Chains A and B, each alone.
Chain A
Amino acid sequence: MNMKRLFSIVFISLFLVPVLLFAAGTKEQAKDTGDGVTTLSVYHFLDQTDKTTAPNFQYLVDVFEKANPTIKLTFEYGYGEAFHDKLQTMAMSGQLPDIVLLYPGERTSQVTNAGLVQDLRPYLAGHENEFADMAMQGQGKNGEIWELPEDISITSIMFTNNRLLKQLGLTLPKTYEELLAQGPKIRAAGLIPISIANKDAWPMQSCVAGMLVERACGLEWFDKAIAGEARFDDAEFVYAMEIIKELTDKQMFSPGTNQLAYGQGLDDFVQEKAVYFIDGGWTVNNMIGELTAEQKEYMSLESFPDIPRQKGKSLSTSATAGQGFGMNAKLTKAESEAAWKWIWFYSGPEGSAIRQKFGRLPAYNLDEPKDADPMIQKLVAYAGKVPMGYVMDSVLAAEPIGTFNINLQNMMFGTKTPKQISQELEAMVTAIGR
């Protein structure tokens, strides 16, 4: 063989290697390794650099694997938008993991609506009453439960620094007017009246707008709006938007709130630069580690004060059943049973009790935790006493809510009016279908 031919063969072979590798794809990992151990892949939403949630989650996994030595879970994590991007890619390429974290609303509808996951109702049968009613609402068109909610997410809590209030000679406002009247005094002291960071655009909708819509319109109106019997540009909805505009114009929110990354709101509150802080109940999870024991004594969980012409319930908030694990529709019976063991452990009594200790508000009904952190006790007590309305992003589709979030920012900047953003929401919801 002459050198030229040898060189050609080597050259072609080198070119063919990546092609062959590409064509070969990847061999699926064996589910049953032969020693009776079932291996399942899990895709979870987790920030692995978070010093609180990451070790907490690992603790749950360790407890589960110790109790179930025949089940081996292999985890893959995503966080933020990257989680959803990868989930979509997995779903579209037919490579959905065995167990996957899903959301009850529209956020992961590309997986649930496509029939890629199992309905959990047959597995759950007989346990429905052990969960909060909100968590057992149907997630599919025929009432399917695609994921077993781990938590109840209260999305609007007005965390209050009572030490600062007392120092300023103020008391917890009972009405919206009282709250507005406190603004100048709080700002004069160099403090922020209401800490909230809205750079990501969803916090104003999820933590403020939903609650104000409940107050201004009432739960009944919202049911009608979803059914198409009321409109999102009705006067009462516009009124809720006008309150956000007024709060902005009167500088009640963090200065430059639309430039502040999520997390800054909590930072300012923990550093006692703000008197109030509006965020969801999930923040308690971080507060446990961030607040000192002394701070935990004078920080309280309150509702936004009542507004004039209020149609909704006094001191109500917005809440939704949270995310949870679902399982791949392609699993065999044995694999499905193993997957359910994890799902039930995580969202059922055992995992819920552990997560409650970590500062979560499980969807599974548990007794009030006596030995838990004071902030958890306050959260549980708060959840037990306030009426709850809808969270907008859990009932409206991704595009209308995404546009609405951005429009709230536009309204705060004055580039759109409350009426305009309400009309645009109505138009979009009508176009897409309720």
Chain B
Amino acid sequence: MTFLQQKRMSYYLLLAPGLLLFASIIIFPVAYSLSLSFTSFGGYGKPAFIGLENYVKILGDEVFLHSLRNNLLIVAVSVFGQIPLGFLLAFLLHRKMVRNGNFYQTMIFLPITISPVVVALLWNQIFSSSGMVVAIIRNLTDQPQYVMKIFENRQMAIYPILFVLLWMHTGTYMIIFFANLQKMTPSLLEAAQIDGASESQMLGRIILPGMVGTIATTAIFAISGSLKAFDLIYSMTGGGPAHFTEVIAIYMYINTFKYYKYGFGSAASMIIVLLAVGLILILQYISRKFERRFE
């Protein structure tokens, strides 16, 4: 065996275990799920091929469309809420515009260290019909029958969850931005300051252009995380009442594990994958354009 062959062989050998693991836990389940999505498999027996029927049914199902709408709202809150807010907080802390920065940094990051199930229980304790806020309002208004109607409105029921998601995940993005801001050369900002640049000018001309890559990466995190959102929402509302707060992951879960429609559920999971990939590709296209502009 020549040296080149030996080298190539060692590459394959080193790559093989990782590739095998990746194939067994990522590629195989995705491929299996894709094949199941074209069947009416119900958990036992031989899967019957039904072509695109599952996809057609899903796309015509108003529950799915409402779930998709909820998911897109979560994406919007993540991309246009958590990321800008996280960046703003990181900027304020980095530029030392607030006192006791370390304290605020810890407090803002704290929610992400708590389990989503605990967060769900916490907010349920606050907002549910038997919770603290409702009890206070009932006492203050002397209306023992008072309930928060927002949770019983098809269009609005998701908004309290969006707020909790904003509260919970902003800290993650703040830390990412804060770490990247610390990496910036201080002399660059000092020079700008000497030249008489204001904070907003430094932000718009130096800091933001330097953070385009980080913003794009966090946006990818936000989109993929938003589309697979499940744990917090399932723990808070289970997708209810009446599907009002359902997202695609819960839609998939209910159909697969409660109704034993494995083929149908697989098709729903494929739609999540396609949506995530599509949105991320669009985002990469936009971020590349921005990068070129700033270059």
Contacts and interface: CB of A to CB of B under 8 A. Distances in A.
A88 B260 CA distance: 9
A114 B41 CA distance: 13
B14 A201 contact: no
A251 B132 CA distance: 22
Contacts of A268: 130
A434 interface: no
Contacts of B254: 402
Contacts of B166: none
Interface residues of B, number: 37
A259 B128 contact: yes
B21 A18 contact: yes
Contacts of A8: 10, 13-14
Interface stretch (B73-81, B83-91, B176-184, B238-246): B238-246
A409 B257 contact: no
A91 B257 CA distance: 13
A267 B18 CA distance: 53
A187 B144 CA distance: 8
A399 B43 contact: no
B235 to A, nearest CB: 11
Interface string B255-288: 0011111000000000000000000000000000
Interface stretch (B108-116, B148-156, B167-175, B216-224): B148-156
B164 to A, nearest CB: 15
Contacts of B24: 22
A372 B148 CA distance: 43
A199 B238 contact: yes
A16 B17 contact: yes
Given A16-B17, A85-B257, A201-B241, A110 B43 contact: yes
A114 B43 contact: yes
Interface in B1-30: 10, 13-14, 17-18, 20-21, 24
A398 to B, nearest CB: 5
A12 B240 contact: no
B100 to A, nearest CB: 38
A345 to B, nearest CB: 30
Contacts of B258: 81, 84, 398-399, 402
A8 B15 CA distance: 12
B18 A258 contact: no
A410 B10 contact: no
Nearest to B147: A256
A415 B154 contact: yes
- Judged by DSSP, the binding face of A is helix
Interface in A179-195: 187, 190-191
Contact of A114 (B44, B148, B241): B44
A398 B260 contact: yes
Given A19-B17, A113-B44, A259-B151, A201 B240 contact: yes
B14 A92 contact: no
A206 to B, nearest CB: 15
A12 B257 contact: no
B210 to A, nearest CB: 37
Contacts of B129: 254-257, 259-260, 264
Contact of A409 (B124, B241, B261): B241
Interface string A77-108: 00001001100100110000000000000000
Contacts of B241: 199, 201, 258-259, 409, 413
B200 interface: no
B243 A406 contact: yes
A200 interface: yes
A11 B18 CA distance: 11
Given A81-B258, A114-B44, A260-B130, A12 B14 contact: yes
B242 A409 contact: yes
B198 interface: no
Interface in A184-221: 187, 190-191, 199-201
A388 B43 CA distance: 33
A81 B257 CA distance: 9
A415 B242 contact: yes
A260 B130 CA distance: 7
Contacts of A410: 242
B43 A88 contact: yes
11 contacts: A11-B14, A15-B17, A110-B44, A201-B240, A256-B129, A256-B148, A256-B151, A258-B240, A259-B148, A406-B243, A410-B242
Counting from the closest, the 3 A-B pairs by CB-CB distance are: A256-B129, A256-B147, A15-B17
